[in-house]
Amino acid sequence: MTETRTLSGRSRILMVAPQPFFRPRGTPFSVLHRIRALCEAGNTVDLVTYPFGEDVHIAGLTIHRSACPPGIKDVKIGPSAAKLLLDVPLYTLTRRLLANKNYDVIHSHEEAAFFCMGLARRHGLPHIYDMHSSLPQQLRTFKSFDLPPIRGLFKKLEDRVLDSADGVITICDDLAAVALERVGDRPHAMIENTGDDTRIFGRSAEDPRADFGLLGKQILLYTGTFEAYQGLDLLLEAMARLKDRMPDAHLLMVGGRPVQVEDHKARAAALGLAERVSFTGMIDPLRIPAFLDAADVIVSPRSRGTNTPLKIYGYMRAGRPLVATKLHTHTQTLTETMACLVPPDPDGIAAGIERVLQDPDYADGLVRSAQTTAEAHYSDEAYVVRVNDLFDAVMSNSREPGALASYAC
C-alpha cells in the first residue's frame, strides 16, 4: 500500500545544496528563497550543505553542515576538485539523515541530484530537482573542465536525473527547454529567481554616496561576483573610454573576493582609473538596496553564459536604468524597452552608459518599463506561490496508488 504523503504546507523536506550557504552569490540566493517560500507555507526544511557560509535564521529551517575534507579551506564558484571532494561528506550526511529521520520529499540542487535520485528511490520518496544550470553547458563557461569526456559524463547524469525526477524546477527559458525534452507530463515549473532579498535581510540606512565621497558624481554601479564570465574587464575598458568624455562618472564595484578585488584594482590603475573606480568587496545583502538607490545607472556587462543572472530581477525593481550586454543571458528576460542592450565590448558598454546618462527621458522610460514588467510578472508574492504550487503538484502525484512503485526499496 502506498504511504499517504502530506501536501506542501505540512511537509518535511530534506534539501541538499552543494554550495557554501549562505554566501551572497547566485545559487545560494536561489536556495535561500526556495527555503523561505517553503517555510512561509508551513513546511519544515532540513538543509544539507557545505561547511562554509553564514547561518541564516528562518522559522522552520535547520541547517546541517557536512564535514570538511582535510586541506580544503573554501570552494570557488563552478566545478573544481575541491567541490568533488566536498560532495563525498555531503552525500554521507544526506544518507545519515535519511536513515534517522522521516521525510516526505527530497529536494536537490545542482549536482547533488546525481546521488539524490538514487537515495530517493531507495527510501521511496519523491525527488524534486532544482536545475539552476545545465551542468554540461556550465562546463563551457569554466574552460579548465570543458573537455568532451567530462561534458559527456555530465550529460548522461543530467539526463538520468531529468528522466527520473518527480518534479523539476528551472530558472529560465533556456533551461526549461532542456528539461522539457525529458520531463514529459511530470510536474515542471520555470520559476525565475525573483525573490525579494529585503524580505529576509531588510535594508541598511547607509548613504554610499556620502560614505565613499561621491557626492556630485554620476555613479555607475556593478554588483555581483568577480568571475571571468561577468565581463568586468570589458566594464573597466568602457570606463577608460568615458574618462575624458564624462569627467563626473565614477564606477562603484560591489562584490568580489579579496584577491579578485586586488587584481581589478591593479587593472583599473593600469587604465588610469585609480581615482575613478571604488571597490567594496563582498558586503552584507542588507546593504545592497542602499547601493542601488545611490546609483545613476546599473551595469551588467556579462560576457558569456546562458542563464539569466539572478540579480537582474532585483535591478528591474530598483528604479534605476540598466545597461546590459545584448546576449541571451540577458535578452531572454530583458527587452530593448526595459534596458539599454549593448554589444558585449568596451565601446558598446561605454556608448550605452553615455546614452542613459545624457538622455533622462530615455532612462526614465527604461525604468518605468522594467518596473511595470517586474510588478506584473516577477513579484515576490507570485514567486512564493509558484514554488509551493510545484511542491503541491509533486506531493499530490506521490499520493496516487502506485505512483512511487518504481522507487520501492
pLDDT at 136: 74
Calpha distance 274→335 (Å, rounded): 34
* 183 and 255 assigned to the same domain: no
* 171 and 110 assigned to the same domain: yes
pLDDT band at 81 (very low <50, low <70, confident <90, very high): confident
Output the nine-digit C-alpha cell for 219.
Answer: 555613479
pLDDT at 59: 96
* 228 and 339 assigned to the same domain: yes
* 210 and 300 assigned to the same domain: yes
| pLDDT over 70 (residue 224) | yes
Is 175 within 8 Å of 133 (Cβ atoms)? Answer: yes
Q: Would you say residue 409 lies in a domain?
A: no
At 339, give phi and psi (nearest 5°).
-155, 155
* 336 and 398 assigned to the same domain: no
What average pLDDT does this structure show over 379-391? Answer: 95
| pLDDT over 80 (residue 292) | yes
What average pLDDT does this structure show over 137-148? Answer: 66
Calpha distance 256→77 (Å, rounded): 11
pLDDT digits (tens, 9 = 90+) for 7-57: 556 899 999 999 999 998 889 999 999 999 999 999 999 999 999 999 999
pLDDT at 1: 33
Q: Which residue has the higher pLDDT, 366 or 77?
A: 366
Q: Would you say residue 3 lies in a domain?
A: no
* 96 and 107 assigned to the same domain: yes
Q: Would you say residue 163 lies in a domain?
A: yes
Q: What angle do CA 199, 201, 204 make, to 5 degrees?
A: 115
Q: Would you say residue 408 lies in a domain?
A: no
Q: Tell me the pairing of strands 297-300 and 322-325.
A: parallel
* 177 and 309 assigned to the same domain: no
* 367 and 396 assigned to the same domain: no
Average pLDDT of the chain, as a whole number: 92
What average pLDDT does this structure show over 110-139? Answer: 92
Alpha helices (H) along 18-147: 26-40, 81-100, 113-122, 135-141
pLDDT at 336: 98
Q: Would you say residue 199 lies in a domain?
A: no
What average pLDDT does this structure show over 374-397? Answer: 94
* 241 and 179 assigned to the same domain: no
* 269 and 385 assigned to the same domain: no
User: Could you list the residue range(s) of the whole structural domain that residue 109 is in?
Assistant: 12-194+379-402
How many distinct structural domains can be found in the chain?
A: 2
Q: Would you say residue 155 lies in a domain?
A: yes
pLDDT digits (tens, 9 = 90+) for 164-218: 999 999 998 889 999 999 999 999 999 999 999 999 999 999 999 999 999 999 9
Q: Would you say residue 6 lies in a domain?
A: no
**Domain CATH code at residue 256:** 3.40.50.2000
* 159 and 269 assigned to the same domain: no
* 31 and 121 assigned to the same domain: yes
Is 398 within 8 Å of 126 (Cβ atoms)? Answer: yes
Q: Would you say residue 298 lies in a domain?
A: yes
